[in-house]
Structure 1
Amino acid sequence: MLDHALIASLRPDLLRFAQLQLRDAALAEDAVQDALTAAITSDHQFAGRSAVKTWVFGILRNKIVDLIRQDSRSTNLSALIDAEGEALDEAYDALFKANAHWHPATRPSVWRDPEDSLQDQQFWTVFEVCLNHLPENTARVFMMREFLEFETSEVCQELSLTTSNCHVILHRARNGLRRCLENGWFAPGERPC
Structure 2
Amino acid sequence: MHRQLEALRPALLRFAILQLRNETLAEDVVQDALIAVLEKPDRFAGQSSLRTYVTGIMKHKIIDALRAASRTRQFDVADDESEDDVIDALFNAKGHTIDTARNWGSPDATLEQKDFFRVMELCLEKLPSKIARIFLMREWLELDTDEICKELDISTSNAWVMLYRARLRLRECLQLNWFGNMPSATGR
TM superposition score normalised by structure 2: 0.89
Q: 1:45: which partner in 2?
A: 43
Matches within 5 A, 1:20-39: 20-39=18-37
| 1:89 alignment partner, one of 84, 101, 108 | 84
Whether 1:109 aligns to 2:95 is no
Q: Matched residues in 2 for 1:28 and 1:48: separation?
A: 26
**Alignment check: 8 A CA contact 1:10 1:53 kept:** yes
Tell me the matched-pair count.
184
Q: Matched residues in 2 for 1:18 and 1:61: separation?
A: 9
**Alignment check: 8 A CA contact 1:14 1:32 kept:** yes
Q: Matched residues in 2 for 1:179 and 1:146: separation?
A: 18
Matches within 5 A, 1:6-21: 6-21=4-19
Cα deviation, residue 30, structure 1: 1.3
Q: Matched residues in 2 for 1:192 and 1:182: separation?
A: 16
Return the letter of the residue paired with 2:105: R
Q: 1:44 to 1:189 in 2, by over 3 A?
A: closer
| 1:171 alignment partner, one of 164, 174, 177 | 164
Q: 1:118: which partner in 2?
A: 111
Q: Matched residues in 2 for 1:191 and 1:21: separation?
A: 34
Q: Matched residues in 2 for 1:130 and 1:30: separation?
A: 25
Q: 1:99: which partner in 2?
A: 94
Structure 1: 5+ residue runs without aligned partners?
none
Deviation digits for residues 129-184 of structure 1 (CA, Å, limit 9, x no counterpart): 11111112211111111001110111111111111111111111111111111111
**Alignment check: 8 A CA contact 2:17 2:23 kept:** yes
Deviation digits for residues 37-66 of structure 1 (CA, Å, limit 9, x no counterpart): 001112211111211111101111111111
Report runs of 4+ in structure 1 exceeding 3 Å deviation: 188-193
Q: 2:152: which partner in 1?
A: 159
| 1:130 alignment partner, one of 95, 107, 123 | 123
Q: Matched residues in 2 for 1:169 and 1:190: separation?
A: 32
1:75 match: secondary structure: coil
Question: More deviation in 18-27 or 139-148?
Answer: 18-27
Q: 1:76: which partner in 2?
A: 76
Q: 1:179 to 1:68 in 2, by over 3 A?
A: same
Deviation digits for residues 81-104 of structure 1 (CA, Å, limit 9, x no counterpart): x1x2x222122123223332223x
Structure 2: 5+ residue runs without aligned partners?
none
Q: 1:185: which partner in 2?
A: 178
1:149 match: secondary structure: coil
